Amino acid sequence: MKNIIITGSSSGFGLKAAKDFADKGYKVFATMRNPDGKNASTKAELERHSTNITVVDMDVTNDASVKEAIGGIIAAEGKVDVLINNAGVMYLGITEAFSIAQAKEQMEINYYGAIRTMQAVLPAMRAAKSGLIINCSSLVGQISPPFFSTYSATKHALEGYTQGLRYEVSPFGIDVAIVEPGPFGTGLLASGQTPAHGDVLTSYGELAKVPAAIGAHFAAFLQSDQAPKPQLVVDAYLALADMPAGKRPTRTVVGIAWGVDEMNATKQPIQDRVLKEMQLEGVLGGADA
């Protein structure tokens, strides 16, 4: 039985992925904060769904929490076959009005949190000469629309880290892949905060009202019948897990693309030329896809 760790399993893509991977016979470690507190009902829901699911208390923003949780899983199971970094938050608003502290909060979850979990599983994956890491990014990991900048920055950072790491761990039989969802009705919008600098908001006048209007428009659309279904993202996770090692694409766009699929098709061959330009093809030549 293959083992999978899924972060952010209390809602959205993570919650559905935990159930679907369990249904496919994986031993699922569904991580979340406060599973015996505010997320107790979600823990019970997952445990009722399948005996293949174990809910694990883990805070991706805390070094000790990640080391203890993932270290415990590896000690018990001896390996981790798949890690899905799904935890994330998104703040929408006037970019200048978000404080440094608010920008850091998003980075801690969306970027540093993913680094913590990857560094926790990679030694065991390298020892096993196999493994798959899927990092959930976003369309805005490649583009940066107005009012999404602090969130977009975290996803650009995650994509940059993932792209280089993919090359480095490929000789160990490990694949690292990025999934880039468009807008989906997962409650991500509700995870945001109001910008801290109220004086800046005031100085923007009527423009300061635009982000809230965008959020309301997206929220209405994402609850409509025309909106793409979150299951599409989970299906992308499942498809990547089923693919042969070494054959998985670097990036997979899911849902509304906003041209990012075209950007990826153009960008990846250029990115892969780095190996040739740096004369690393012989060392890392199996990493491009």
SS3 content of the chain, % helix, strand, coil (to 5): 55, 15, 35
CA distances from 12 to 15, 18, 190 (A): 6, 10, 12
Instruction: Indicate the DSSP class of residue 92.
Output: -
How far apart CA 248 and CA 193 sit, in angstroms, is 36
How far apart CA 98 and CA 149 sit, in angstroms, is 10
Can 9 be counted among the known catalytic residues?
no
Residue corresponding to tokens 């399948």: 50
Give the chain's length: 289
Can 144 be counted among the known catalytic residues?
no
Among the listed residues 9, 31, 128, the one whose alpha carbon sits nearest the alpha carbon of residue 79: 128
Which of the residues 9, 10, 50, 170 is marked catalytic?
Answer: 10
Instruction: Indicate the DSSP class of residue 135.
Output: E
Which of the residues 19, 26, 111, 137 is marked catalytic?
Answer: 137
CA distances from 159 to 2, 147, 166, 179 (A): 26, 20, 10, 10
Which of the residues 112, 151, 167, 237 is marked catalytic?
Answer: 151
Can 10 be counted among the known catalytic residues?
yes
Angle subtended at Cα 214 by Cα 212 and Cα 215, rounded to the nearest 5 degrees: 65
End-to-end CA distance of the chain: 27
Hey, what are 57's tokens?
Answer: 């208390």
Can 209 be counted among the known catalytic residues?
no
Which of the residues 16, 19, 155, 167 is marked catalytic?
Answer: 155
Asked whether 109 and 60 are in contact (CB, 8 A), the reply is: yes
Q: Which helix (H) or strand (E) holds 268?
A: helix 260-277
What is the set of active-site residues?
10, 137, 151, 155
